[in-house]
């Protein structure tokens, strides 16, 4: 069950693979794209009742929920999530929750907490900290199992005094298919693309990336920032566009907005390097999986998540929010073909290790417990 339905999204890939192993229903938001295997019917504050009713009608045994902030709508709507868990357990459904965006407890003591708090949240971080204690606590108590993608997320949950016996670590799945369809509008865009992908939010270090790119000593490279603006970070996208204008690089930076799935894959295949300069790695598994799938030389920041997921032979690391080091790293890859090819070769090996087939089998084992 998920709000977001695209071919490249985590849940869709998991559903497609699991459907070969067991009967499965895909419950989505009523505004989700119309697809053969998707049942879009829930929305708004009443989503707990809608989902419970449908699960009873379908006679499902296990309900697997995807959860992160704003997964079910605006902030107030998300407060109904514990009621969904409670009602599902009340009707004797086994409940599995995948936590995609665990917030480190220590982050509430840092100014970086402002990078993940939506603009419509008016209460202070101390209140949000209490709210997250309640959310994670209720998920722990009311679910049968919790799934995270990396050991570091389990470590962060321990800070909220969560029952660790309920937590299973299953990596984000990676497709091993590199076949892409040619997209005509990108064909003549340029051969040297520096790609950044994902929804546009403050925690992703876009200011650092733009400033570093502006000073890049590679004249023929273009920066593509692919992803949509998020409505709950009011004014942030305008700030980013103004920074591009300030540096005078409007002709070398492209914001694509939302892209169809085939364009996302085409851009990853066409890109020369991928840059993921996150300040806080709360939901970084998805974009990293695309970079791995397409065997792209990748630059990441020295955050706990990336340092746990990647070795220095698989990716180029830079300090968080360091414009000069990021500039140097991009130049190093763009000017050194041998180094670029070696990183590409090494990161490609991760695709087989975390294929969707292997990840689906691990989920099936959790469902059967």
Q: Please check whether residues 219 and 116 belong to one and the same domain.
A: no
Q: Which H or E run contains 99?
A: strand 94-99
Q: Please check whether residues 160 and 206 belong to one and the same domain.
A: no
Residue 100 pLDDT grade (very low, low, confident, very high; cuts 50, 70, 90): confident
Is 35 within the bounds of a domain?
yes
pLDDT of 22-69, one tens digit each?
999 999 888 887 777 889 998 888 999 999 999 999 999 999 999 987
Tell me what percent of the residues of the chain surpass a pLDDT of 90.
59
In terms of Cβ atoms closer than 10 Å to its own Cβ (0-12, 13-18, 19+), residue 343 is buried
Is 3 within the bounds of a domain?
no
Q: Please check whether residues 149 and 217 belong to one and the same domain.
A: no
pLDDT of 105-148, one tens digit each?
888 887 777 777 766 666 677 788 888 888 899 999 999 999 99
Q: Please check whether residues 43 and 104 belong to one and the same domain.
A: yes
Please enumerate in sequence order all residues whose Cβ is within 8 A of that of 231, keeping only pairs 6 or more positions apart, or say none.
Answer: none
Is 158 within the bounds of a domain?
yes
* Cα 122 to chain centroid, rounded: 25
Q: Please check whether residues 201 and 240 belong to one and the same domain.
A: yes
Number of folded domains that form the chain: 2
Parent domain of 157:
10-173+355-368
Is 5 within the bounds of a domain?
no
Cα separation of 284 and 306, whole Å?
9
Mean pLDDT for all residues in the chain? 89
Is 291 within the bounds of a domain?
yes
Q: Please check whether residues 65 and 142 belong to one and the same domain.
A: yes
Residue recorded with tokens 């999530």: 81
pLDDT of 247-294, one tens digit each?
999 999 999 998 888 889 999 999 999 999 998 877 778 889 999 999
User: pLDDT at position 170, please?
Assistant: 95
Q: Please check whether residues 302 and 364 belong to one and the same domain.
A: no
CATH number of the CATH domain containing 36: 3.40.50.2000
User: pLDDT at position 8, please?
Assistant: 61
Give the length of the chain. 369
Q: Which residues of 254-280 are buried (b: 16+ CB within 10 A; e: fewer)?
A: bbeeebeeebbbbbbbbbbbbbbbbbb
Q: Please check whether residues 266 and 256 belong to one and the same domain.
A: yes
Q: Please check whether residues 146 and 288 belong to one and the same domain.
A: no
Is 49 within the bounds of a domain?
yes
Is 127 within the bounds of a domain?
yes
Is 178 within the bounds of a domain?
no
User: pLDDT at position 130, please?
Assistant: 86
């Amino acid at each position: 069950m998920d709000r977001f339905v695209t071919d490249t999204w985590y849940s869709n890939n998991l559903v497609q693979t699991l459907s070969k192993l067991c009967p499965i229903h895909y419950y989505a938001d009523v505004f989700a794209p119309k697809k053969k295997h998707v049942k879009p019917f829930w929305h708004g504050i009443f989503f707990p009742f809608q989902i419970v009713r449908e699960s009873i009608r379908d006679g499902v045994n296990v309900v697997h929920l995807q959860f992160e902030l704003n997964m079910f709508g605006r902030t107030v709507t998300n407060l109904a999530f514990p009621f969904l868990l409670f009602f599902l357990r009340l009707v004797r459904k086994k409940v599995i929750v995948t936590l995609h965006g665990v917030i480190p407890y220590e982050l509430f003591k840092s100014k970086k907490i402002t990078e993940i708090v939506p603009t419509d949240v008016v209460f202070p971080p101390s209140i949000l900290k209490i709210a997250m204690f309640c959310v994670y606590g209720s998920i722990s108590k009311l679910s049968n199992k919790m799934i995270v993608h990396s050991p570091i997320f389990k470590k962060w949950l321990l800070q909220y005094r969560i029952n660790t016996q309920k937590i299973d670590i299953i990596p984000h799945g990676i497709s091993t298919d590199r076949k892409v369809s040619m997209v005509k509008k990108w064909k003549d865009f340029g051969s040297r693309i520096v790609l950044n992908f994902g929804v546009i939010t403050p925690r992703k270090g876009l200011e650092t990336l733009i400033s570093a790119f502006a000073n890049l000593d590679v004249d023929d490279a273009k920066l593509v920032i692919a992803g949509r603006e998020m409505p709950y970070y009011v004014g942030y996208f305008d700030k980013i566009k103004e920074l591009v204008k300030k540096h005078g690089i409007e002709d070398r930076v492209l914001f694509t907005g939302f892209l169809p799935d085939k364009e996302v894959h085409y851009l990853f295949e066409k890109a020369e390097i991928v840059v993921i300069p996150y300040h806080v790695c709360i939901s970084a598994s998805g974009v990293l999986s695309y970079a791995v799938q397409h065997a792209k030389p990748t630059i990441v920041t020295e955050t706990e998540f990336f340092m746990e997921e990647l070795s220095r032979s698989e990716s180029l690391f830079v300090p968080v929010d360091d414009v000069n080091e990021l500039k140097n790293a991009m130049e190093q890859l763009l000017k050194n073909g041998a180094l670029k090819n070696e990183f590409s070769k090494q990161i490609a090996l991760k695709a087989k290790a975390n294929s969707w087939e292997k990840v689906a089998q691990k989920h099936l084992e959790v469902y059967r417990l």
